Structure formats: C-alpha cells, structure tokens
C-alpha cells in the first residue's frame, strides 16, 4: 500500500473511532438521564405514599394545650375545634381565614356550633387567604397570647402543608395535628378524590421548596 493509501486508511479509521466514541457518549448520557428519571419517579412515588400515610393517620389530641387553631375550609373542622374547646383541651381558639364581614355569631349559627364556655376565648382571624397567610396570622396570635403548645385542626390532606408552614412561622411552638377527614376522602373510586390528593401533594412539594413564600416575596417587590 502506498503512503497516500495508508494515510487515507488512518483517517477513515480515526473517523470511525470518533463516530463510535460519540455514539457511546450519547448512549451513556441517555442511560444517565433515564436512571435519573427513574430515581425521580421512585422518589415521587415514595413521597406520595408517605403523604397518604400522614393524610390518613388517626389523630390523638393532647389532654391539654395552650391553644387551638382551626384553618377554615369546612364545617367539620369548626365543629371539631369547638368540641375540643368545650371539652377543655385548651382555653384559647383562633379561627384563621374568616371573611372580613363574618362575626363569631355568624360562625356559630352557620355551622350549628355550641357556644363555648365563658372561660374560653375565641379569636377570628380575618387576614389569611392562603396556608402561608394562616401560618403568619397564627404566629402573630401565638405571640400575643404567649402560647407554647398548639392543636392544629384542618383536613387530613391539608395537614402536611399546614404543619410545614406553621412550624416555619413559629419553630418554638409544639404542634399537635388534629386531622378532620371528610367522608368522601375514603372513597378511592372517585376520580376527584385522587385529583385532590395529588394536587395537595404537589402543593406540599412546592411548599418544601418555599415556592409560595417566594412568589409572595416577588409580588411584594413588584407591588411596593
């Protein structure tokens, strides 16, 4: 073979090795991406199973706490909070997220609640419109009443996110979750139940990333 032929052969061999190396590199990248996607999927599914476990876990209220907070959103939540107040689990109750025009009498009448004992004190929080707002409103109330332990009343599916935001807003306060379970939440054959659970799980994941507070901070910058 001539010198020129050997040169051409070497170039062809080099190009072939380059093509093989590129193909191997692409395959490696694809495998790494596939492995990462699989790990993310496993992590997401594992997190959702944990979320379901927390959502449906039974609640055991402490015999006594300094206060109770109920995050509004359903009559069952209010009824549970008032029952605990009447049973003496605490003397202070905050109803967070009440519309501005609503009074305590309106709440009692609309939810058919028994009037709490005279020794107790019920506060209506009119400022919160989100779970983050609930946490900030509750933290201000806790500071004003020197509360160190708090029973949290909300829906089971809302509890992981509620406790997360509340614990961030007042890390020194002992929280006792009291889950209220709507009857429909136990019907796994209904599509809207799974839509609700998946939606709340997604919101909890975003709360872990502090997404809601970040959005609120950015809105504050844009709307001084």
The domain made up of 67-219 has a fold known as Rossmann fold (3.40.50)
Average pLDDT by consecutive 10-residue portion of the chain (224 residues)?
60 66 74 86 88 89 94 84 92 92 83 76 91 94 96 94 95 95 76 89 87 53 38
pTM for this predicted structure? 0.78
Contact between 73 and 182 under an 8 Å Cβ cutoff? The reply is no
The Cα 109–Cα 114 span in angstroms is 9
The whole-number pLDDT of residue 212 equals: 64
User: In 134-148, which positions are buried (b, 16+ CB within 10 angstroms) versus exposed (e)?
Assistant: bbbbbbebbeeeebe
Residue spans of the domains in the chain: they are 1-56, 67-219
- The whole-angstrom separation of Cα 103 and Cα 15 is 81
> CB under 8 Å to 30, separation ≥6 — which residues?
none
């Amino acid at each position: 073979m001539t010198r020129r032929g050997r040169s051409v052969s070497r170039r062809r061999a080099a190009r072939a090795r380059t093509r093989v190396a590129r193909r191997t590199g692409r395959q490696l990248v694809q495998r790494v991406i596939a492995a990462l996607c699989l790990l993310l999927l496993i992590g997401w599914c594992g997190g959702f199973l944990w979320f379901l476990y927390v959502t449906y876990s039974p609640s055991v209220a402490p015999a006594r706490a300094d206060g109770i907070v109920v995050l509004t959103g359903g009559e069952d939540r209010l009824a549970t909070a008032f029952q605990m107040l009447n049973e003496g689990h605490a003397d202070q109750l905050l109803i967070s997220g009440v519309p501005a025009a609503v009074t305590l009498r309106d709440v009692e009448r609309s939810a058919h609640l028994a009037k709490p004992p005279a020794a107790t004190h019920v506060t209506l929080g009119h400022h919160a419109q989100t779970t983050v707002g609930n946490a900030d409103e509750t933290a201000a109330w806790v500071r004003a009443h020197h509360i160190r332990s708090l029973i949290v009343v909300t829906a089971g599916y809302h509890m992981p996110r509620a406790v997360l935001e509340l614990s961030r807003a007042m890390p020194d306060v002992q929280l006792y979750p009291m889950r209220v379970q709507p009857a429909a939440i136990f019907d796994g054959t209904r599509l809207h139940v799974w839509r609700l659970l998946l939606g709340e799980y997604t919101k909890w994941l975003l709360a872990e990333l502090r997404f809601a507070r970040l959005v609120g901070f950015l809105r504050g910058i844009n709307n001084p």
